[in-house]
Amino acid sequence: MKVSWKRRVTYLALVAIVAGCKDKPAAPAGGGPPPAPVTLTPAVSKSVPIELTAVGSVLPIATVSVKAQAAGPVMSESFEEGQLVKAGDELAVIDSRPILIARKQLDANLARTRALITQAEATKAQREADVRQTEALLSRGNAQHEQARRAERRTKALAESDLVAAEDFDRLRTETTVTEAGLRGTKAQIENAKSAAKAAQAAIDAAKATEAADLAAIEQAELQLSYTTIKAPISGRVGARLVPVGNLIKANDETLVVITQVAPIHVAFSVPESHLAAIVAAWPGRDRPGATAESAPAVEVYEPGGARAASIAKGGRGLPMATGRLSFINNTVDVATGTVLLKATFDNPDGRLWPGQFVDVALRLSTREGLTVPSQAVQTGQQGQFVFVVGPDKTADVRPVVVERHVAGEALIAEGLKAGDRVVVDGQAKVRKGAPVRIPAEEKAAPAAAPAAASKTP
């Protein structure tokens, strides 16, 4: 049994060694290293976006600390921590009973003042009636006085001629004197009545001023009453609850909750001042009246840490988290860093951008036609940047290149390649100039294509 088991193990080991030898690529005839396995991709001419990349931070357009404007205990709170609220939504209620009681007292004061106004107006009307009545008496007295004076003048001439008794003349003269005194008394009554009417008007004016003060006090009470219902001043997301229900708060003292606007939202980032001219040129209508946001350069943001380039390197599309528009160029360059601050505005309807979050930013200035290869194809040597180009004979050649810029995981080639050149994007470490290479993707495709070709042969 022991001999049989050892023979079986030896047999399996020999089979594994033989299988491993069959899988190894054939060594070149000269005895050198085997061809290096590589992955190729062709250089492609296409429209390339001209972008500036930077690291940015998400900033809320507005952050509001909600404070009570009325003092009292917090009776209820109508929000959950972290929820979205709209401007005008109720957040909390403060005890309003003291203000309601004060309001009733103010209403009573107003009613009393209006009663005083009514009384003063009635007094004024009575005094004005007295004036009119006294003026009528004065008019009648004037007529009587004038009649008495005429009778006195006629009787005086007759008395001087002894045609009328002296007693009759004295009687008429006395009547004239009496009517004249009556006129003076009536005029004094008129002045008194007018003074009383003026006093009544002054009382009316004072009462109306008091009425205005009462109305203002009522409006103030209404305002204070409205403060007992705390509403969201802006739309946004609420933070942690800072004052629980039941706590006694002072006016304009403690913050109940902080609301942060998240839609729309800003992303702030800085770029070197050398790019300022290009940014200004890409936004020509920024100072024109009626300029719309669509005229501003587009800005895309991505997960931080090179997630965009990593996605593209793995064959992904490198989709942005959000797309917005440039909305602000700072009016000065930071002399300490040589950069200029920019802000972009994003609608952020799904809330993916979070205040305080760091993101990778891509500011698109323009587009141009150019020759591109994946950025990982470009290597750096002692003579500068280069790529490995594989010809039809599957041998590698070193091609120096001039890279204008890297955009979204792709290198824009200014010199050194032409469209269709196949460059090595993986496996460069084992590639040597003039050495043969293996292309596993083509080797896997060849066996699959052979049966199809055989089936088409007549």
Question: Above pLDDT 90, what percent of the chain?
Answer: 51
Top pLDDT among 171 and 208 is at: 208
Q: What is the pTM of this model?
A: 0.65
Over 80: is that where the pLDDT of 52 sits? yes
Across 338-358, average pLDDT? 95
Q: What's the pLDDT band for 136 if we cut at 50, 70, 90? A: confident
What DSSP assignment string belongs to 252-289?
Answer: T-SEEEEEE--SSEEEEEEEEGGGHHHHHHH-TTTTST
Residue 322 CA from chain centroid, whole number:
17
pLDDT at 267: 97
The token duo for 266 is: 């800003």
Note the pLDDT of residue 2.
Answer: 45
Amino acid 191: pLDDT: 83
Domains of the chain by residue range: 32-60+263-446, 69-95+229-260, 97-224
Q: How far is CA 145 from CA 155, 178, 393, in A?
A: 15, 8, 146
**Dist. CA 437–CA 428, nearest whole Å:** 10
Nearest Cα residue to 221 out of 109, 87, 106: 106
Mean pLDDT on 395-415: 88
Listed ranges 1-5, 15-19, 43-47, 403-407; the one with the highest mean pLDDT: 43-47
28 pLDDT more than 60: no
Q: What is the pLDDT of residues 276-309, one digit of tens each?
A: 999 999 988 777 666 666 789 999 999 887 666 5
How far apart are alpha carbons 351 and 236 in whole angstroms? 10
- Look at the domain 32-60+263-446 and name its fold: 2.40.420
Q: pLDDT grade, residue 314 (50/70/90)?
A: very low
Asked: is 69-95+229-260 a CATH 2.40.50.100 domain? The reply is yes
Task: Give the count of beta carbons closer than 10 Å to the beta carbon of residue 200.
Answer: 20
For the cut 90, the answer to whether the pLDDT of residue 31 exceeds it is no
Instruction: Name which CATH class applies to 97-224.
Output: mainly alpha
Give the pair of three-digit tokens for residue 387: 């790529």
- Residue 380 pLDDT > 60, yes or no? yes
Q: How much is the average pLDDT of 231-251?
A: 94
The mean of the pLDDT values for the chain is 83
Quickly tell me which residue has 């992303």 as its tokens: 267
- What digits encode the pLDDT tens for the residues 68-87? 999 999 999 999 999 999 99
Q: Regarding beta strands 339-346 and 90-94, do their DSSP bridges make them parallel or antiparallel, or are they unpaired? A: unpaired
